[in-house]
Homo-oligomer: A and B are copies of this chain.
Amino acid sequence: MELAEGKLKFIEAWGKLGSEWGINRTMAQVHALLLVSPEALTTEEVMAELSISRGNANMTLRDLIDWGLVEKLHKTGERKEFFYAEKDTWAIARRVAEERKKRELDPVIKILAQLTEVKGDEKDPAYKTFKTSVNDINKLAKNVSKTLDTMLKAEESWFFGSIFKIFK
């Protein structure tokens, strides 16, 4: 396979995975494009490579910056802005996990905590089932949260190395 074809396949695959996980397809594609680009790209270049509009490119790049996955660079003598993607895969995974935890998991945990406070008749099966399900999910969510926190603090080596020693 040629580089050009591989690049397209990579961008396509990354975009598909993103959209299946609730991330805008274009955002994932722009990220993929920047990931395989050795140099920082301009908005114009992103627009041309992916055939997207200026507005879309601008908003998507801004989102990627918000996610901490891309940084804006200025080249001396150049007027326009350049965009460069963090290339460290482990750092990327951490940023994404961190951001989604904060944006999505944490709010749910807050609501679950409130729901464990719901009072009712202990004899009522509807109440008992509600309470059990909410309590169990709450416990799971808190454990996931705790595990993520630990992973986020850990170094790359934790994931790529020693962790597997505890698995048979």
Contact = CB atoms under 8 A, between A and B. Distances in A.
A53 interface: no
B164 A111 contact: no
Nearest to A124: B3
A46 to B, nearest CB: 15
A134 interface: yes
Given A133-B87, A147-B163, A1 B114 contact: yes
Contact of A3 (B17, B20, B120, B164): B120
Contact residues of A: prevailing secondary structure: helix
A88 B114 CA distance: 21
B37 A93 contact: no
Nearest to A164: B146
Query: How many copies of the shown chain assemble into the complex?
Result: 2
B139 A160 contact: yes
A17 B108 CA distance: 7
Contact of A160 (B17, B88, B143): B143
For chain A, give the interface size range. 35 or more
Contacts of A38: 125-126, 128-129
A34 B159 CA distance: 36
Contacts of A60: none
Contact of A9 (B10, B104, B111, B140): B111
Given A9-B115, A22-B22, A37-B129, 11 more contacts: A2-B118, A13-B108, A17-B108, A21-B22, A36-B130, A36-B133, A38-B128, A90-B140, A143-B160, A163-B166, A166-B166
